[in-house]
Structure 1
Amino acid sequence: MPGLRIGVMHNTINSKYGPKPLIQADYLTGLAAGADSFWVADHLNSVLPSSMWKPKYVGAAKIIPKMDAHVEPWTMLGYLAGHNKLGRMTLGVAVTDTGRRNPAVTAQAAVTLHHLTRGRAILGIGTGEREGNEPYGVEWSKPVARFEEAMATIRALWDSGGELVSRESAYFPLHNATFALTPYKGKWPEIWIAAHGPRMIRAAGRYADGWFPGTTRASEYGKQLNDLRTAASDAGRDPMAITPAGIRFILTGRSQDEIDEIVDSELVRLFTLNSPATDWARHGAEHPMGADFKGVQDLVPQLIDEQTALSFVSKVPRELVKELFVVGMPDDIVDQLAEFRDNGLRCLVVGNMGALHPKLSKSAAATTPYVKVLRRLKKL
């Protein structure tokens, strides 16, 4: 069995030193650890309450003044493609949004990056979330329908051969539109779709070259992968041609005490607001936003003030934190992630969440065990 492909994830937030130093550090970390790919997020704002981004809760606030200050991902990847001559990591967005970004522009950005990287670009794409759409005037009532139309639009443009395209659509109609950019050496960028629910998994089976699930449980991963392959077969595609991927965020440290400190920190515990109410209920707790809350899809964290956020912290089940993240010393983390490999995962994208440690010095120190994890994962 071939080994896992490993990717490194970067959350594109501006620092008081500008956007380049942090992304450059993560990129070089990926290279040093032998990663195959480098990924950036696509957000206009954070998925955590900005009211809690203060030095008394998180050390990184000393160098990242505003946690909502996300930079534009395709611009950053273009910078990396043009300025880094070391290594040949594939570059991808995990994942961009079909709500606030017109699919023709997304198709253009992905193909441009594909040429700049000489065929090493991946278009990661999904529905997006309410917090990145509704506050900016994008209608949010039918995100999956909008996603399906966006995918059909991208494929129609790429398949047009530069000829004029007209296509009826409730969201993205084309009226004698042209897409004259050519694929790099005859190949378009791969499309990796973030899909969790049944309808999105069916869409991934129809359109995806790779798949990012929403689950953080290995057993559910295996079940959803079977559903995805069935959907691909039903669409007349080779189900084994879709790369089973996953994104997991790591909480590690130099000692168990450091790990416990970050697991019990306010910001990490508040990250569980992005979990749906069903995940909270499985751990015997009710989601603070209600029993029907869908999690990250519906969360608008900028509306949560500091006192309200602190009242939520005490309600978070510790086991839910350990389910949402991969927690432990390097050997423990590798063992946990091996379960996903055993359930079919073939490309693992990991992010270092040590940045959320209450102490900046310990946040920086978590990089060393994190790199150990990356190197050991390459041997799985």
Structure 2
Amino acid sequence: MDISHIKCLPHTYANTYPNAHSDTNTDAYPTPTPTPTPTPTPTPVPGLAKHALVGYWHNFTNPSGNTYPIAQVSNDWDVIVVSFGDNAGGGNVSFTLDPGAGSEAQFIADIKTKQAQGKKVVLSLGGQNGSVSVGSDAEATNFANSLYGIISKYGFDGIDLDLENGVAQGAAIQTYLPVAVKKLKAKVGASFYLSMAPEWVYVEGGFTSYGSIWGAYIPIINALRDELTILHPQYYNNGDIYTPYQSAPLRAGSADQLVGTAKMLIEGFTYGGNTFAGLRPDQVAFGVPSGRSSANSGFTTSADVSNALNCLTKLLNCGTIVPKQAYPGFRGVMTWSINWDKHDGYNFSAPTKAVLKTLP
């Protein structure tokens, strides 16, 4: 979803912006009440790279080119997110392999080969034009059963929730999607991989204005904290971002924006009179486009990606926004997409992977 045309109302504390949510604190730019990072009780997914490069692989043809076998995906990618599963109705999910990926037998073998190389291969649900409907306990059961069948058949490590349609405040999916995911994990076991790729308005957007789609992913994240492997919001196609750290928005794609939004997810922020408790650093990554062709806005340079990663993990090369401390466990980078990156001559993955290898 592209909401770059929507005016983002700044979050305010002192009646400066009458239409925005306000708090009782009248400081000009206060920081939300510090929230300790929760003790990492869940066991992280085994075999996942400490600092991961996550990319979406197209199970469809678009201007970047035709689908191609997963065996041809560069070894720089640590997590290959297959996009997308389909909404089969009633909570059910289906998956149809594009012929360009090869036969089903080849696809299954390619997944096993990638996994033997230490990679994760997961199935994404949603996307710009897709949706998932889980509005009751019965649909939650259908969701879990259908996906377990797909995971068992193809050997996926888990799922990615890239829901850009149908998630809003008060929608039944906020209640029943977590139920469905928990049912699925109970079937798959402790190795189950779960990532989320919401557009930033669904998460950090709750700081600006909590209602409709703004912050609508927060209840889902809160309900699945123990199951969540990585949250990597999309910081592209949706405009500049307001944070607790300055009055002006942070420019989409800038190093300060990548650091500021990661800082919010790890250190916590306020939304609708509540506080979002920080996630573990290893549960957080940032999502950026792989190049100028793969997104309409939010392009970030390799230098900004490098500076953001070094700032977050080492407190080096920071700009205006600085974390409270270094987070050496910060997970890494997600991008749309593997296919566009290949089309562009690996201009994104090669330098980004090189930086990830230098992190503590």
TM score, norm. by length of structure 2: 0.50
Which structure would you say has the larger RCO, counting Cα contacts within 8 Å and 6 or more residues apart? 1
